[in-house]
């Protein structure tokens, strides 16, 4: 409801499919990150098959989601990843997960062109081995960073208060695009 008000200037709610995951118990917040049970499917990833050394076709994985409510520090992420396997085994009938997967604009490797080498986002990216296609994700960037509803953003009017905002908007101003990155990582 907060993000809806931020984007639309009035009360409302448009995240029904997201909130259902919480009610069904399929999405769990473990410290800084959220984890959701999923299955690796190379067709969904836009990949030509399973990655070498990564999850096998049809293998259970934990999808990682990044709430936008705090720093993405390596220590906080380490704690979340460390908690994921034991939590899922305990609460989902002994489910075994060897890998986590992430699909996010935060995994767009070209963010390194504008962020400091020690940026938390870049440390988060380094956890994942890139794999799969990279569809455009400009709308995701505008929605999740700036709170703009789909198709309503005027990048020239958006704030450039930090290096992330400047990096994102400079690319769009220059006619470039941001892309969804996909990757996998072994779970500890």
Q: Using an 8 Å Cβ cutoff, are 131 and 50 in contact?
A: no
The pTM for the full model equals 0.88
Cα dihedral 78, 79, 80, 82 in deg (nearest 10)? 80
Q: Digits of tens for pLDDT over the chain (188 positions)?
A: 666 666 657 777 666 676 778 777 789 999 999 999 999 999 999 999 999 999 999 999 999 999 988 999 999 999 999 999 999 999 988 778 999 999 999 999 999 999 999 999 999 999 999 999 999 999 989 988 988 877 777 888 899 999 999 999 999 999 999 999 999 999 99
pLDDT in tens, 55-100: 999 999 999 999 988 999 999 999 999 999 999 999 988 778 999 9
The dihedral of CA 135, 138, 139, 144: what is its sign?
positive
């Amino acid at each position: 409801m907060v993000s809806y008000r931020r984007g639309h200037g009035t009360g409302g709610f448009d995240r029904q499919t997201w909130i259902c995951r919480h009610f069904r118990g399929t999405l769990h917040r473990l410290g800084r990150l959220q984890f959701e049970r999923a299955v690796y499917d190379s067709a969904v990833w836009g990949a030509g098959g399973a990655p070498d050394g990564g999850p096998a076709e049809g293998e259970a994985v934990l999808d990682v989601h990044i709430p936008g409510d705090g720093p993405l520090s390596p220590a906080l992420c380490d704690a979340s990843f460390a908690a994921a396997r034991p939590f899922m085994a305990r609460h989902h009938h002994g489910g075994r997960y060897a890998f986590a997967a992430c699909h996010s604009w935060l995994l767009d490797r070209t963010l390194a062109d504008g962020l400091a080498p020690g940026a938390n986002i870049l440390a988060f990216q380094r956890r994942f081995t890139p794999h799969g296609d990279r569809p455009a994700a400009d709308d995701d960037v505008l929605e999740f960073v700036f709170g703009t509803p789909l198709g309503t953003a005027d990048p020239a009017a958006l704030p450039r208060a930090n290096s992330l905002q400047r990096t994102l908007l400079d690319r769009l101003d220059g006619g470039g695009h941001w892309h969804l990155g996909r990757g996998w990582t072994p779970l500890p």
